[in-house]
Structure 1
């Protein structure tokens, strides 16, 4: 498993037992819902004013976090800090194959000095097809966490989460981070993940949402998004562990799989489905809205609708 740092047994400010840091304050800051967005990490110069305004709108709508999708970095979060006041800015995720741990720690320290308590470092080992010099992802993640611990100043374990899917990486999320930020998962998966993590660590999955109550068009939109991901071995293997088959994974997903992975339908149905994810063990849902147009601009009307749908909904 690699070298591990000492584990706190009774750290102040939280109730978490040995095996990881207390995360009560982080859970409170995140709240039950955040927005997961590739659009808000865009580096297109023409989009920057729109992105900053959209980030402020997300905060004003009451979401607790902005998760910057894709291979995001500290600089993407720092870009939004000036236009927001208190929303948590998280990477979902920073790809450990592309950014040196000591550089990340230094960038994080700079952001912490200017905007203390605002940043959450989401780390992921990505996929072999998308990484540089991909090798032994679990061991490499352990080494990366060791480097974050050894940096001056270090990145505290309670301010980082791992994009875990399999049991070993979930265990590492429990022992060396605040918890897990899994992607493309079902409520059934969350029940299993919570069993590995235990009751205290943060479980903050990405949840895909299509705001369309027509089953045929909603599934078509979902498949336009899912097809790419279902072809990646890590996601396919995780879904097969849950009992899905090659037939379910083919052609961008069977109806059964699409309906398990993507929240869609009427307002009441969406409300019920989000409750299922929370009841399965999630502390916080990072909601990613997918639209039929695939527009690269922030989907503000959909985020406003989600804010209304999630108002008052807690775990």
Structure 2
């Protein structure tokens, strides 16, 4: 499950994490956009639910210095030994440049360089040298984790997917349909032993299809008009179905862009229906090759109060 859940204060998530464990969820994965940072919700979970696995999906490679990112990862790996995975990604110009005042230059190289730096630093090596996108002078972690976390890479198109297959311990997929999974996995090339495939899946557990599709259209026009996601879906073969949305968006017609997204695209990318139906749709991702399907819950008209019942109906148990 993606955490934290919306509308519930972090201080009250102990009950949420307990409900997730009872329902059979094995992993908690955080994100980092404009809500909580990626590490704090997982640090709480490390103390409250020591049986659950933890992961970031994702931590941007531009918004922290390499040394600070290594320290964040090492601290959480120490708090949850053998249960933490660090997911890295380039993120987007809006998050990096517009919100964090950092340059968004050469995202592929920066991601590759941070991945290589962390591999060495989290193993306890002294890192001293220049990468293509930054230089580090004699950095050594003072608290090296006994179990270095696996490093997973968020990837969309073939170049980053090949990098993940060649150098990371897993890949994190996002904004794709179950039928798209084989295309993405086919671009990974040869993988390391134990390589893991994680996918974030947007789920709106309501039988109010009008609500779910309206919310899905807003999300799709917000995300899939970002250049990297637009190119990803062109590569997946959606030029014809999403082309009208992209053209309307480029012309400044936000309302028209949303209206141009076909129902079948919304239904493929934002799962909806009863919790049980959503759970069955998530299983299609696992059948297609995803090892860790990560639900991202979206608000529903029925949403109110204690989420334990909804969690139980969505959970594999």
Q: Same fold (TM over 0.5)?
A: yes
Equivalent residue for 1:50, pick from 12, 37, 42: 12
The 1:274–1:248 alpha-carbon spacing in structure 2 relative to 1, beyond 3 Å, is farther
SS of aligned partner of 1:181: strand
SS of aligned partner of 2:103: coil
SS of aligned partner of 1:208: strand
Task: Tell me which residue corresponds to 2:5.
Answer: 39
**Consecutive unaligned residues in structure 1, runs of 5 or more:** 1-34
Contact 1:204 / 1:285 at 8 angstroms: preserved in 2? yes
Task: Tell me which residue corresponds to 1:3.
Answer: none
Cα deviation, residue 269, structure 1: 3.9
Cα deviation, residue 281, structure 1: 1.5
Contact 2:39 / 2:56 at 8 angstroms: preserved in 1? yes
Task: Tell me which residue corresponds to 1:109.
Answer: 74
Equivalent residue for 2:163, pick from 145, 161, 172: 172
When Rg is computed on C-alpha atoms for both structures, the one with the higher figure is 2
For 1:193 and 1:304, locate their aligned partners in 2 and report how far apart those are by CA, in whole Å: 31
Task: Tell me which residue corresponds to 2:251.
Answer: none
Task: Tell me which residue corresponds to 1:247.
Answer: 244
The 1:97–1:297 alpha-carbon spacing in structure 2 relative to 1, beyond 3 Å, is farther
Cα deviation, residue 202, structure 1: 1.3
Residues 94-115 of structure 1: per-residue CA shift (max 9 Å, x gap) = 1111112222222322333332
Superposed CA RMSD in Å reads 2.8
Task: Tell me which residue corresponds to 1:265.
Answer: 273
Task: Tell me which residue corresponds to 2:201.
Answer: 207
Contact 2:61 / 2:89 at 8 angstroms: preserved in 1? yes
Residues 185-222 of structure 1: per-residue CA shift (max 9 Å, x gap) = 11232101221235762111001111122332321232
Task: Tell me which residue corresponds to 1:216.
Answer: 210
**Is residue 2:21 matched to residue 1:59?**
yes
For 1:93 and 1:294, locate their aligned partners in 2 and report how far apart those are by CA, in whole Å: 29
Task: Tell me which residue corresponds to 1:32.
Answer: none
Cα deviation, residue 157, structure 1: 8.0
Aligned length, in residue pairs = 271
Deviates more, 1:50-59 or 1:269-278: 269-278
TM-score, reference length from structure 2: 0.76
Contact 1:248 / 1:257 at 8 angstroms: preserved in 2? no
Task: Tell me which residue corresponds to 1:19.
Answer: none
The 1:229–1:301 alpha-carbon spacing in structure 2 relative to 1, beyond 3 Å, is farther
The 1:104–1:184 alpha-carbon spacing in structure 2 relative to 1, beyond 3 Å, is same
Contact 1:206 / 1:286 at 8 angstroms: preserved in 2? yes
Contact 2:3 / 2:41 at 8 angstroms: preserved in 1? no
Residues 25-75 of structure 1: per-residue CA shift (max 9 Å, x gap) = xxxxxxxxxx013537x9xxx923212331232223221111112344334
For 1:300 and 1:185, locate their aligned partners in 2 and report how far apart those are by CA, in whole Å: 28
SS of aligned partner of 1:85: coil
The 1:110–1:196 alpha-carbon spacing in structure 2 relative to 1, beyond 3 Å, is same
Equivalent residue for 1:186, pick from 177, 181, 191: 177
For 2:181 and 2:221, locate their aligned partners in 1 and report how far apart those are by CA, in whole Å: 22
Equivalent residue for 1:135, pick from 70, 93, 105: 105
Contact 2:157 / 2:235 at 8 angstroms: preserved in 1? no
